[in-house]
Amino acid sequence: MYVRCGYFIGRPVEGKKDELDAQLRAMMPLYKGFPGIRWANMLIADQIDEGAPAIYATVQFAFDSKEALEAALANPHRQAVRDQYAKTVLPLFEGSVLHANQHVASMPTE
């Protein structure tokens, strides 16, 4: 499995936390439009350790392989998702969004 993570490093615009959280959650149905997607999660921090990077939220979306992820990112739907983030999420957020593509090693089930 291969997962792309987007890390929202920063904080909500003053007085906009609830609206930002709602907009982040509202983005999740858009991930269904990526071909080959297995699942997507939005993690919104409730607490961050002192001295840790200010990762406010993390979006994770998974594919069967690196090639499947690359194909999804090449799909025109990606631009539609990016446009929606730019319109509804980023005006409520002060910081940057950085991405990492990661292969997954899972805990044994036995």
The CATH number assigned to the domain holding 52 equals 3.30.70.100
Task: Supply the DSSP symbol for 106.
Answer: P
% of residues, the chain, pLDDT over 90: 91
Domain containing 9: what range? 2-103
Any domain includes 43: yes
Any domain includes 54: yes
pLDDT band of residue 83 (cuts 50, 70, 90) is very high
Could you list the beta-strand ranges (E) of the chain.
2-12, 39-44, 55-63, 93-103
Any domain includes 109: no
Task: Supply the DSSP symbol for 35.
Answer: T
How many structural domains are present in the chain? 1
Element (H, E) at 24: helix 17-27
Any domain includes 21: yes
Any domain includes 20: yes
Which tens digits make up the pLDDT trace of 22-80?
999 999 999 999 999 999 999 999 899 999 999 999 999 999 999 999 999 999 999 99
